[in-house]
Structure 1
């Protein structure tokens, strides 16, 4: 019933046809884990944040207060974790990402970045057990590539 509800209320309205949600070994659906989807479908879900919880068809799937809720540091997180999202700019002293950037992190180095000020979603899938996947640097390089070039002196 839980999976059917998510499929009907979230996955299908977003066009996330590849999404598969599995329970953990005890049969419990975690919500934070065991959701499998293509990178494109992950991007669809993250785009919902940029679109203020509204689908391209105009259907509201997420309450309008949700974006502030998930990007506000939770108590006891040291200021680096919202409700379901990491707040990487707080975590990276260099400030390589815009201040409004948040990201979701998955098992073995999977990342999804949401950068509302640029209308940008970046999904990085991979499998590594090593820390420092370079994903934050990748996202920062994409943001830098989107910046206007300096005016030519010609």
Structure 2
């Protein structure tokens, strides 16, 4: 759903938090109750999937790839039939491009990348298809 909030946390922010927590425990010691730290973005500065897609599209025009074959797009659906329809459209094209690269003696990486992307989509499906409301009371 493009209206769902995405919890994107930059890696450098997570690393900075880990350093500060280590420093804080080193200075104060381990007395009292163990503090629980939370690092979230959705409460303070929410970014929806739709807004993330707008930013992705803008950056695609600012920094285009010279090796781009297809124009990227997002499909917001929980309907598996629609996703299979997208596969039905793209998979033959990917096989044609893969065959052309094999005939030219190049590596046939596009089919491998497509399969890895599909596997990754299956892994993150549970998290990305739901709305998560994380609290930032103890940040």
When the two structures are superposed, what TM-score results if normalisation uses the length of structure 1? Answer: 0.22
Q: Say which one has the larger Rg.
A: 2
When the two structures are superposed, what TM-score results if normalisation uses the length of structure 2? Answer: 0.24
Higher RCO structure, 1 or 2 (CA under 8 Å, sep 6+): 2
